[in-house]
Chains A and B, each alone.
Chain A
Amino acid sequence: MNDFVLIRKNLFRKKLRAVLMIVSILIAFAIFGVLAAFERAFNAGEAVAEDDRLVVVNKINFTQPLPIAYFNRVQGIEGVRRVTHANWFGGYYQDPKNFLIVLAVEPESYLQIVDSDYVITPEMREAFIRERTGALVGESMAKKWGWKVGDRVPIASNIFSQKNGSRSWDMHIVGIFSKRKPQADTNVMLFQYDYFDETRSFGKDTIGWLILQTTSPEVNDRVAKTIDRGFANSSYETATDTEKAFNKAFVAQLGNIALIVQLVVGAAFVTILMIVGNTMVMAVRERTREIGVLKTLGFSGSRVLRLILGETVLLAIIGGVPGIALAALAIVNMRESVGNFLPGLTLEPSILAIAFVLMIGLGLATGLAPAIHAFRLKIADAMGRG
């Protein structure tokens, strides 16, 4: 009989108790898995951001417009490799509840800049640049609404209206693109700025924000300062930031999600630590006499210690692994319903790694007190008891 068999037999000597402990560990890890994935998804914007990308917005706030002339002016600044611009459209399909992320963009430069995020084929690119009412749709949006290349769909705006009074624009889908980076969001529609600007009833010649690529991340600071200084004291002052910082600040507006996740996961783990820890103390105390027997047979104190720690670590893994599996299942089911505002909800490998470390940690923490007790136990005391 090797040590592993001993560990296993000890763990399941009271089946019901073992099962209950496993269930509570399973739940703690399921909660951890789901919440960690949510937190990652909230911060996906930060993960997807490129180091050499800067975002230029109106200094008052990013919802305020900038003049289109800034597009050309920024292009000329030293250290700027490429510039593009985008405008928030406030789109929806058929019913205002069917909110869509739709951007009016400068086709050529926009596709160049997002090339590291999305897979855009040359045919798509060409069709999008050529066709005035052409639109590119991300894979997940196309799938959700059942759109295919060639479809013409009316997309309404809750902000803009056309000069003719209509609130909706006809979009001709000329391509459906997939993502290149796992965190990239394909729940998005792009259409031509020119089509948008010529038809809208107000706001002509303004854009939402500029995205630019610098020649290297080292010049980011200098480029940002040059841009902001250049437009200082004009009626449209700018605030330039890295894409990463911009996305991070935006997520921070929702609230301290990381803190909420930490508190809830913390509460779940404290609960489990108490339940399992106390149960294990009790379980080992019941076995005092047996431990005495083992020591009499020549088991060293450290081997007994290993047996007990092995038992709690095994318990944590038997509970933790299905817990994470349950989290993965839950996430797959939730992806559909939260996909609109939380794309890229997945259990990343790094979450799995953290979960594994937590399992080992939980196993050691719950086993420590009883293991040390057993380690120190003198044979005479053990055999004398109960």
Chain B
Amino acid sequence: MRSLFLQIAAVTAINIRSIPQRFWLSLSTVVAVALVVMVLLSFLAMANGFQRTLKGAGAADIAIVLRGGSQSEINSVISREQVRLIEDGPGIARGADGKPLVSAELYIVVDGIKRSTQTKANIPLRGIGTEGAAIRKDIKLVAGRMFNPGANEIVVGKSLLSQFQGFDLGSKVKFLTTQWTVVGVFAADGSVFESEIWGDLPVVQSLFNRNNVFQTVRARIDSPAALAELKHFADADPRLKLDVKSEQEYFAEQSSQTSDLIQKLGWPLAIAMALGALAGALNTMYSSVAARSVEIATLRAIGFGGFPAFIGTLAESLLLAGIGGALGAVATYLVFDGFTTSTLGTGFTQVVFSFRLTPALIAEGLALALTVGLIGGLLPAVRAARTPIVKGLQG
């Protein structure tokens, strides 16, 4: 047994030391695998970043109320009467002053100019109630102040500011015939809210000719369990044809479509490219076996078994693919991790998100790389082990 290990170690060492002899061919395999892993990881990091941005926004103890069947905030319409009924509904948390922690909101899509392309894109302007910022989790003002009730003032999300021009603190923005002043910038732990503009609900309603129109109601609930109570309440009242969901549930639904799509594009592409890289790996390893056929035959003539020759070749292949995978992961991390961009979310507005590479994703990338190495090494390794000694010695 010990001798088998020594043989394997010796053959593997010979294999690996001989890599520089096929430097360019080996390098092409490494680069090919690295590019495959890069393509896969950049798509996965994109999907993951998008999902995190939306899921991060959802809290389990905040209920979001939409008109039945409307699916997303932009399609929803809620009347003042319905807002009142919800405010008095069961399970809704109340502040120190006894007022319900509820924010009726209006969600208006406005144009912004994307910095990267200088083209118009949809961004959301949300009219929020007085409790609007307080009931959401992790909202922090990072510059300026909150808008004053009744004033033509807006606060903008940090991500929005980074991707769209004209919303710097203190600048004036014109929607319709009204000038609005940007008085604050807020952060929301990287969530989708950072892609929004907020203003005082009554002001937004009146300046956009939407008096008494609401689209959603957000409510802090006593506990995640109280959600069922509120749902039951809405179902029982014929005046409330509404969908009640936890914010967490709502954003999970909103994110799944887009991130699924990105993943569904990423994997097939990476697998197709992996097949191309596999052809390269097989080529490299067959050349390696051919170049060392005399050595392998010599070793076997002096008593080495076929199995160490098999393992040696496989190890070389796995090493090359492993280096490629690691290079691909490092390159993706350096180039794409934290790369910020935006796309159209299901709310029909831009969602600003950053690519996020996680250790779990890197493991998927390395697994793909090693699969290429394993399959690419297997057949050549069999050949290395099986070639008759006499034929091998002839070169």
A residues touching B (Cβ–Cβ < 8 Å)?
16-17, 20-21, 23-24, 27-28, 30-31, 59-61, 63-64, 90, 96, 156, 158-159, 167, 202, 233, 235, 237, 239, 248-249, 252-256, 264, 267-268, 270-272, 274-275, 277-279, 281-282
Chain A hits for B109, CB < 8 A:
60-61, 63-64
How close is A149's CB to chain B, nearest CB, in angstroms? 29
Is the CB–CB distance between B31 and A271 below 8 Å? Answer: yes
B136-152 interface (Cβ within 8 A of A): none
In the complex formed, the residue of A with least CB distance to B291 is A282
Inter-chain contact count A-B, CB under 8 Å?
131
Tell me whether chain A's interface is mostly helix, strand or loop, or mixed. helix
Considering residues A16, A253, A270, A281, which has the most beta carbons from chain B within 10 angstroms of its beta carbon?
A253
Query: Whole-angstrom distance between the alpha carbons of A274 and B287 in the complex?
Result: 15
**8 Å CB contact of A158 from B69, B119, B175, B343:** B69
Is the CB–CB distance between B25 and A279 below 8 Å? Answer: yes
Is the CB–CB distance between B75 and A158 below 8 Å? Answer: yes
Is the CB–CB distance between B176 and A271 below 8 Å? Answer: no
**8 Å CB contact of A255 from B176, B177, B277, B342:** B342
Is the CB–CB distance between B273 and A271 below 8 Å? Answer: yes
Task: Decide yes or no whether B36 CB sits under 8 A from chain A.
Answer: yes
- Given A64-B109, A270-B31, residue A275 in contact with residue B280 (CB < 8 A): yes
Given contacts A21-B279, A274-B280, 11 further A-B contacts (CB under 8 A): A23-B276, A60-B109, A60-B175, A61-B111, A96-B69, A158-B70, A253-B343, A255-B342, A270-B35, A271-B277, A281-B24
Chain A hits for B108, CB < 8 A:
60-61, 64
Chain B hits for A249, CB < 8 A:
119-121
Chain B hits for A59, CB < 8 A:
111, 176
Chain A hits for B36, CB < 8 A:
271
Task: Decide yes or no whether B39 CB sits under 8 A from chain A.
Answer: yes
B30-55 interface (Cβ within 8 A of A): 31-32, 35-36, 38-39
Is the CB–CB distance between B286 and A16 below 8 Å? Answer: yes
- Given A17-B286, A21-B283, A61-B122, residue A96 in contact with residue B71 (CB < 8 A): yes
Query: Whole-angstrom distance between the alpha carbons of A305 and B39 in the complex?
Result: 36
Chain A hits for B38, CB < 8 A:
267
Is the CB–CB distance between A63 and B74 below 8 Å? Answer: yes
Chain B hits for A281, CB < 8 A:
24
Is the CB–CB distance between A237 and B176 below 8 Å? Answer: yes
Chain B hits for A202, CB < 8 A:
77
Task: Decide yes or no whether B350 CB sits under 8 A from chain A.
Answer: yes
Chain B hits for A64, CB < 8 A:
108-109
29 sample A-B contacts, Cβ–Cβ < 8 Å, listed by A number: A21-B279, A23-B275, A24-B275, A27-B272, A30-B272, A31-B269, A31-B273, A60-B110, A61-B109, A90-B75, A96-B69, A158-B70, A159-B70, A235-B209, A237-B177, A252-B117, A252-B119, A253-B122, A253-B350, A264-B39, A267-B273, A268-B276, A270-B31, A271-B31, A271-B35, A271-B273, A272-B276, A274-B27, A282-B25
